[in-house]
Amino acid sequence: MTLTPLRIALLTVSDTRNEETDRSGKYLAEQITSAGHTMAEKKIILPDDIYQIRALVSRWVASDNVQVIIISGGTGLTGRDGTPEAIKPLLDKEIEGFGELFRTLSFNEIKTSTIQSRALGGIANATFIFCIPGSPGACRTAWESILKEQLDSRNKPCNFVELMPRLREI
């Protein structure tokens, strides 16, 4: 069985990082392409502003060129962390298990600090959206332990890719 390459958009949300210091964005971009997927679009850095995040993600959700959106950063508890608030109103369905599994896996690495993560997964207009913490370790956990397999059409017993044709059914 061969891989079905996906068109993935990548966004880093941060008030403090830039293109040079965004290790998480670089890691995810490398993993996406090395896994055989296409980088549909990459926004290096967008500030922690729910309306700017929502506007960009809305454009990607409306595009036929984007099948998956991965957002790193802005999922914490500080006043500026607003990625979940930006994304939740756009979702048609939330994938509760994504955040639950992410926090379970993170517990093995960072113990109870994982409770501060508001990792989120969902579907909007047949586009998968995943919001993950912006630390390099968190991005590695999300990619290696969840997204890499679920975005691979060869993963069995099931994966997100095989659901894509049916997401638009009413």
- What is the CATH number for 137? 3.40.980.10
Q: Would you say the C-alpha torsion 30, 34, 35, 38 has a positive or negative sign?
A: positive
In a domain, 1, yes or no: no
Residues 70-79: pLDDT tens digits? 999 999 998 8
Amino acid identity at 16:
T
pLDDT at 170 over 70: no
How far is 168 from 146, CA to CA, in rounded Å? Answer: 23
Question: How do residues 40-60 score in pLDDT, each as one tens digit?
Answer: 998 878 999 999 999 999 999
CA distance 160 to 123: 11
Would 170 be classed as within a structural domain?
Answer: no
Structure tokens at 2: 């061969």
Give the DSSP H/E element, type plus range, for residue 85. Answer: helix 83-87
Q: How many domains does the chain have?
A: 1
What is the model's pTM? 0.96
Q: Is the pLDDT of residue 165 over 90?
A: no
